[in-house]
Structure 1
């Protein structure tokens, strides 16, 4: 999914983007690491190590930009009366790239897990 919008809702960020990011992190720390540690061949292990490095670099960029977004909208993301208001958040260019990268990385990692 390409993210071309210049805005995102707080509910979408909290309930869709961040859970996808957490899923990617979980898979990288779990299944991919297990494939690296116990792969059937040195070639497979090397391939998965390179993928892990690529994904971790991508994750670093995503995390930095999402942290920036969360920091900018700290007040807007605080629940009011125990409930999160669905506010529209403006994205800068780097945040928009990071949101797109979350969706792309999520799709790639999910596709790879079927092969592990």
Structure 2
């Protein structure tokens, strides 16, 4: 069972969502470009599987973040209205939301590794 975690609406808005969006951009741009350029069939299959895995994970994360944001809609609205002056209350997360946030962080780290590998000289 996932551990409990303390997170505020500001953390979601300024840290987690940007990481998910950045991951999504890398999948849609970098990974798919790598897939199109791959000559080797084994490499193409590996990249196709990686793209599908990332897309599935992003979908799961976003579904759970949307659920969280709907449950705490008032807190998110108050934080958004206050700008960067407020972080908002500590949110009580269900186990799926905890997994989604942990997954978002891990997925972002993995996609950073993919980007580094793509830009490193062969």
Q: TM-score, normalised by structure 1?
A: 0.88
Identify unmatched segments of 5+ residues in structure 1. Answer: none
CA contact (8 A) 1:65 1:98 kept: yes
Alignment of 1:85 with 2:86, yes or no, is yes
- Write the distance in 2 (CA, Å) between the matches of 1:22 and 1:84: 24
Q: How does 1:1-116 map to 2 (within 5 A)?
A: 4-78=3-77, 79-83=80-84, 85-87=86-88, 88-116=90-118
Equivalent pair of 1:10/1:85 in contact (CA under 8 Å): no
SS in 1 for 2:76: coil
Per-residue deviation, 1:60: 1.4
Q: Which is helix-richer, 1 or 2? A: 2
Hey, what's the Cα distance between the residues in 1 that align with 2:85 and 2:26? 28
Q: Hey, what's the Cα distance between the residues in 1 that align with 2:85 and 2:72?
A: 13
Q: Deviations over 1:27-46 (max 9, x none)?
A: 00000000011124222121
Alignment TM-score, normalising by the size of structure 2 = 0.84
Gaps of 5+ in 2: none
**What's the secondary structure of 1:7's corresponding residue?**
coil
CA RMSD, Structure 1 to Structure 2 (Å): 1.7
The number of aligned residues is 114
The structure carrying a bigger strand percent of its residues is: 1
Shift of 1:15: 0.6
